[in-house]
Amino acid sequence: MLINVKNLVKRYGDLIALDHFNLEVQEGEILGLLGPNGSGKTTAINCILSLLKYDKGTIELYDQPMTPDAYDIKRNIGVVMQNVAIFDELTVYENIDYFCGLYISDKHTRKKLVAEAIAFVGLGDFKKFSPKKLSGGLLRRLNIACGIAHKPKLIILDEPTVAVDPQSRNNILEGIMELNRQGATIIYTTHYMEEVEQICSRIAIMDKGKIIAMGTNEELKQMIKSGEHINLELLNPEHLELSEITALPHIISAELTDHQLVVKSGRGKNTLIAILDYLKGRNITIGKIYSEPPTLNDVFLEITGKALRD
Amino acid sequence: MFLFNYRYRLKCIFKDRQLMFWTFLFPILLATLFNLAFANITSSDNFIKVNVAVVQNEALDQNPAFTQAITGADDLFVVQNTTRAEADALLQDNQIDGIITFDPDLNMVVNQSGLNQTIIRGFLDDYVQSNATIVTVVTENPGSLENGILNGISSRSEYLTAVSASQSAPDPIVNYFYALIAMTCLYGGFLGVKEVVAIQADLSAVGARINLAPTNKLTVFISSMLAATSVQMLELMILLTFISGVLGISFGDQFGYIALTCLLGSLTGVTFGACLAAVIKKGEGIKIGILIASTMTMSFLAGMMSTDIKYLVMTKVPILGYLNPANLITDSFYALYYYNTHTQFFTDILLLCGFTLLFSTITYFVLRRQKYASL
């Protein structure tokens, strides 16, 4: 077991930030820690990294208790902070060299690692640039390079794509998958469900300081009642009675917005034929039809009663 | 790790333009302004002679001793021998401060009162008194003339001898520059704040990153503080060179002790800033604000804005002088410049060591914490 957290409790005064939080991370996986803002993701990471004091619980990394001076464990960890953590006074190269130097003392090894990190995040043309001259996306890439230059076995990324444009976001996500292919175990915290669906082999959904569901993407979606979402464009929806649709077998809910009807059906049930029969009987003309599988937002919604981004 | 971090901290400090302005350029600008403001004060203190007109008449001719006395009076007077009419005209035009005339007694005519007029009055009173004494001696005891009594009457003997405490000439202006250097030393606090913010996980993101690394935090911190002190020392040496070499302000010739004062002043300043940053649980802006306010207050009390304040503190609340690092640094320079002994200097130096130790100890106890309650 690479990380084993048991019954972690962290309080800020009366506020319980982590409420008997449990987590196990296996070597080689990409674990997504998904939850809305304030759900306790960053607090959990900071406790695991021994930055924050906690009130109760145990944290073990590589089967050893994690402490601030557990240097052997720390040597294997790379962290990409939520806030860009670099020195404005140093150039791109110097920043990566400095933070790599905190782990690697040999100058020649460090030079090679810094060059690889720069190539990995695609900052080759910006080596001598001051961070003040970099765009938000390039800064995020520099932030990642500073966290991973020493080639850690465990990489923790805390919302690395916040305020990043779609193109840079894709580059970052592809880079994370590449790091995993090279052998690194990844913990990735975010409140973007699309990102964890795209890159994570296992997902832990957090709310109010605890993990409320955990599994692969498919396993999580199997946990809920709702299945596919059927979207129908209706040309004459005035003849529609929503109560009659929801009364159909295996239909969980139906919503009509303007000409768009969204029907959620039960998991594993085919309800499309019944819906089409009903619409035909009512002489309602259909424009477009498409179906979507359930999302992690549906999982979160069904478990907590609220959407991920509420 | 120590040297690696030291090198990078030097880079960070030198490239921080705002920091370099306040700790390096600002004191040089202030020293230049001081020099411009004080340039004419010393020359304005030079004594200007008193212009008098002595009316040329028969009575004056009968008193050659008076002419001899006024022309030989330690270069006090610029004497013009004129007619009464010319003398009146000169007085009317304010070209002279007064008229001296024998008619037949010694008289003085002025058209205003002031220091120069008082000097003329004093001289005349002294002459009349001496003259009366001589007349009395000659009349009542002519035999004593043979004993040389006249020499005793006509000359003034000083029974107290002024001995200089040093070879340096007293100069009240230098204290302003010493207080400015003290302020610069304490501005090293900016560097101390920067280094603490850079290493504390609850104060900056880079601090969090450094705390996550497998390095001893105290080693990194000591190396950072050493870099800050090195920069501060360099800045002070350049400032001293500028003040003494370009502005011509003297610091005496005890370079080893001057360097020691700068080193301890820098250490006190840097550790003061570090202590402040570690103890005050507010944002960096508030820490800097408090640092500036406290530094300026200490410099004010050390006489940077007026030497009278320093005098007032030393006479009314001397303990405040010993509790003020800026005053101790100023005093150290002053003691080196003026006194031939080092008692005062080493007292100041020891107190500065005490402050450095106190600030360092407080900072250590705050920074040794390895985990944070919140980030």
Quick: pLDDT tens for B243-261: 989 988 877 778 888 889 9
Q: Selecting from 1.10.4160.10, 3.30.450.80, 3.30.70.980, 3.40.190.10, what CATH number does the domain A225-293 have? A: 3.30.70.980
Q: What average pLDDT does this structure show over B134-146?
A: 76
Which of A28-42, A256-270, B103-117 has the largest mean confidence? A28-42
Higher confidence at residue B42 or residue A281? A281
Q: What average pLDDT does this structure show over A267-290?
A: 88
Q: Which residues pair with A60 in a beta bridge?
A: A4, A65
Alpha helices (H) in B163-244, listed in sequence order:
174-186, 188-199, 205-212, 217-241
pLDDT score of B58: 83
Give the pLDDT confidence of B293-319 residue by residue, as tens digits: 999 999 898 887 877 888 888 888 888
CB contact under 8 A, A105 and B1: yes
Is the pLDDT at A151 greater than 90, yes or no? yes
pLDDT score of A84: 93
Is the pLDDT at B165 greater than 60, yes or no? no
- Using CB atoms, pick whichever of B12, B208, B370 lies closest to residue A81: B208
The token pair that represents A160 in the structure block: 């690395």
pLDDT score of B167: 59
Phi, psi of B247 (to 5 degrees): -90, -15
Higher confidence at residue A237 or residue A57? A57
Q: Please list every residue in chain B whose beta carbon sits closer than 8 Å to the beta carbon of residue A68.
A: 211, 370-371
Q: Report the chain B residue with the minimal C-alpha distance to residue A130.
A: B15
Q: Report the chain A residue with the minimal C-alpha distance to residue B12.
A: A89
- Cα gap B12→A143, rounded to integer Å: 18
For chain B, what is the mean pLDDT? 86
CATH 3.40.190 maps onto chain B at 48-154
Q: What average pLDDT does this structure show over A125-145?
A: 93
| H helix and E strand count, chain B | 19, 4
CB B75 within 8 A of CB B49: yes
- Using CB atoms, pick whichever of A12, A67, A94 lies closest to residue B11: A94
Is the pLDDT at B73 greater than 70, yes or no? no
Residues of chain B with pLDDT > 70, as a percent, come to: 89
CB contact under 8 A, A102 and B213: yes
B208–A contact, CB cutoff 8 A: yes
Label residues A250-267 b or e (16+ Cβ within 10 Å = b): ebbebeeeeeebebbbbe
Choice among A232-246, B211-225, B361-375 with the minimum mean pLDDT = B361-375
- Written out in words, the top-level CATH class of the domain with range B48-154 is alpha beta
Q: How confident is the model at residue B152 (pLDDT cuts 50, 70, 90)?
A: low
pLDDT score of B44: 53
Cα B367 → chain centroid: 38
Nearest to A294 by CA among A196, A242, A217, A200: A217
Q: Report the chain A residue with the minimal C-alpha distance to residue B204.
A: A85
Is the pLDDT at B170 greater than 70, yes or no? no
pLDDT score of B153: 60
Is the pLDDT at B290 greater than 60, yes or no? yes
User: H-helix or E-strand containing A207?
Assistant: strand A202-207
Q: Report the chain B residue with the minimal C-alpha distance to residue A147.
A: B209
Q: What average pLDDT does this structure show over B32-36?
A: 90
| H helix and E strand count, chain A | 11, 14
Is the pLDDT at A296 greater than 80, yes or no? yes
Q: What average pLDDT does this structure show over B180-196?
A: 92
Helix (H, G, I), strand (E, B) or coil at B86: helix
Q: Please list every residue in chain B whose beta carbon sits closer than 8 Å to the beta carbon of residue A77.
A: 212
Q: Please list every residue in chain A whose beta carbon sits closer than 8 Å to the beta carbon of residue B15.
A: 89-90
Residues of chain A with pLDDT > 70, as a percent, come to: 99
Is the pLDDT at B151 greater than 80, yes or no? no
Q: How far is B201 from chain A (nearest CA, A)?
A: 8
- Cα gap A277→A101, rounded to integer Å: 69
Q: What average pLDDT does this structure show over B267-281?
A: 93
Cα A159 → chain centroid: 7
Which residue in A45, A51, A129, A157 has the most chain B C-beta atoms within 10 A of its own C-beta, making it the best mutation to test that interface?
A: A51
pLDDT score of A162: 84
Residues 96-115 of A with CB under 8 A from B: 98-99, 101-103, 105
Q: What average pLDDT does this structure show over B118-144?
A: 83
Give the pLDDT confidence of A208-248 residue by residue, as tens digits: 999 999 999 889 888 888 888 899 999 988 888 889 999 99
CB B102 within 8 A of CB B53: no
A221–B contact, CB cutoff 8 A: no
pLDDT score of B166: 58
CB contact under 8 A, B210 and A102: yes
Q: How confident is the model at residue A90 (pLDDT cuts 50, 70, 90)?
A: very high
Higher confidence at residue B330 or residue B142? B330
User: H-helix or E-strand containing B363?
Assistant: helix B343-367
pLDDT score of A87: 96
pLDDT score of A228: 84
Is the pLDDT at A169 greater than 60, yes or no? yes
CATH 3.30.70.980 maps onto chain A at 225-293
Which of A17-21, B94-98, B201-205 has the largest mean confidence? A17-21
pLDDT score of A143: 94
CATH 3.40.50.300 maps onto chain A at 3-221
Q: How confident is the model at residue A305 (pLDDT cuts 50, 70, 90)?
A: confident
Residues of chain B with pLDDT > 90, as a percent, come to: 42
- Written out in words, the top-level CATH class of the domain with range A3-221 is alpha beta
- Using CB atoms, pick whichever of B12, B210, B371 lies closest to residue A90: B12
Choice among A274-278, B157-161, B220-224, B351-355 with the minimum mean pLDDT = B157-161
